[in-house]
Amino acid sequence: MDEDFDCIVLGSGLKECILRGILSVEGKKVLHMDRNDYYGGESASLNLNQLFEKFYPGQKPPASLGASRDYNVDLVPKFLMASGLMVKFLLKTNVTRYLEFQCVQNSYVYKDRKIYRVPTTPMEVMASSLMGMFEKRRCAQFQQFVQNYKQEDPKTHDGFDLTKRPMSDLYKKYGLDDNTQSFLGHAVALYTSDDYLSRPASETIDKINLYKDSLLQYGGISPYIYPRYGLGELPQAFARLAAIYGGTYMLAKPIDKINYGPDGKVVSVTSEGETAKCKFVVGDPSYFPDKVKKVGKVIRLICILNHPIPNTNNEHSLQIILPQRELKRQFDIYVMCISAEFHVVPKGKYMVIVSTNIETDNPEQELKPALELLGPIEQKFLSICDLYEPTNDGTKDQVFISTSYDGVSHFETTSEDVLSIYNRITGKEMDLTPMKQPEGAEQNVD
């Protein structure tokens, strides 16, 4: 380990593994260390025995839950948008060759204690029971405008320049009520707050179009995909990629000290008496307690069901978004459901994970509206985690720290953090064009 590297990565969460893989492909000499003896960090997927060891130490799983090996349960559950940034990272690096994905069956939005399929086209809007007849017509007209709009063609603008007017004005133009704004902004554009209303409308339209493009990618009725055997497959796939390009990986390596030069910039990392020199460091917040600040908490409740979620046509996979406006709270609540179709639970079982950013002193009670949708729960695992973000951008000390994983059930915010870190490291935007593989790359993978 006593040698020089361009970069040292600390922690094997998904963000760190993506950056390590991309930096390795771009020619950087990278050393990747993790204090744990397994890949994934917070992004790991656990079997049933590991779940009980983590959440109920000393207890054995009941036989009714089935075999431990049939479980691959995410600690940080998220779906991938089929045309989203995370998929672009996978395609850029050709990591998809290590993974198998399936489409998620459906996407729902919560209103008046019921769930409704998210309508995304003028025809679906008119058929939906989510809105009254007059609101359907207004929403269909809005959807038609979005579908036809081209920034370079003023004839499609209908007197409204999306780059100059805020989204709130576009909603007013079509007379959309608060409920319609809520499902469009949170269940389609996937915003986590209503701050977007004062931003240029073009940003929201881009997100709505991303949802539609993802929906059409595989001809399904949901824009989401998910890997077989759980999300823990993603960091492992990027770790394999980095190995092809000469990256060095060390598990079970405690970090004794991060060393800085006279100018305040990082120069090396010491572990178990050995020191590796570097030009910069990338890592998750747990390795830098003096360089991060707490910005909130997230709750995730892992639920094992022996039945599909009621009122969902017995679907084996889906997402439900409970918008904050509907619940009169600050943050949305997310419900993610997948089944044995994805090899994450035994046949006849369903893994449902409910998550949100915490707002009160009784976080589990905050999830009540979502839990009421699930029916009987066979087993629960409750996780409450602090959320951290770096106190500086890393350009002065050359230490680039990721943010904690938030409570949303998709990877767009995670992916945006990866792009931001890459930009701060390199001073340029990431080129998402698929890379060429070195000859013999496939033969170098075990």
Would 225 be classed as within a structural domain? Answer: no
Q: Check residue 309 and give its pLDDT.
A: 97
Q: What is the spatial distance between Cα 416 and Cα 285, in angstroms, rounded to a whole number?
A: 17
**Within-domain flag for 256:** yes
Nearest partner of 179 among 142, 222, 144, 135, judged by Cα = 135
End-to-end CA distance of the chain: 23
Domain that holds residue 87: 56-105+294-387
Q: Do 252 and 330 lie in a common domain?
A: no
Residue 426 dihedral angles phi and psi, to the nearest 5°:
-100, -20
Q: 159 and 207: one domain?
A: yes
Looking at the fold, whether 130 and 176 belong to one and the same domain comes out as yes
142-183 pLDDT, tens digit per residue, is: 988 988 888 888 888 888 889 999 999 999 999 999 999 998
Q: What is the pTM assigned to this prediction? A: 0.89
Check residue 436 and give its pLDDT: 66
253 with 396, same domain: the answer is: yes
Q: Which has the closest alpha carbon to 334: 356, 357, 312? A: 356
Q: Is 394 found in the same domain as 287?
A: yes
DSSP H or E stretch at residue 22? helix 14-25
Could you report the per-residue pLDDT of 322-361, keeping only the tens digit for each?
999 999 999 999 999 999 999 999 999 999 999 999 999 9
Of 183, 217, 251, which residue is a domain's last? 217
CATH code, domain carrying 127: 1.10.405.10
In a domain, 36, yes or no: yes
The number of folded domains in the chain is: 3
Residue 154, CB half-sphere, CA atoms under 13 Å: how many?
A: 1
How confident is the model at residue 236, as a pLDDT?
A: 83
Residue-wise pLDDT tens digits, 93-134: 888 888 999 999 999 999 999 999 888 777 888 888 888 889
Residue 442 has pLDDT above 50, yes or no: no
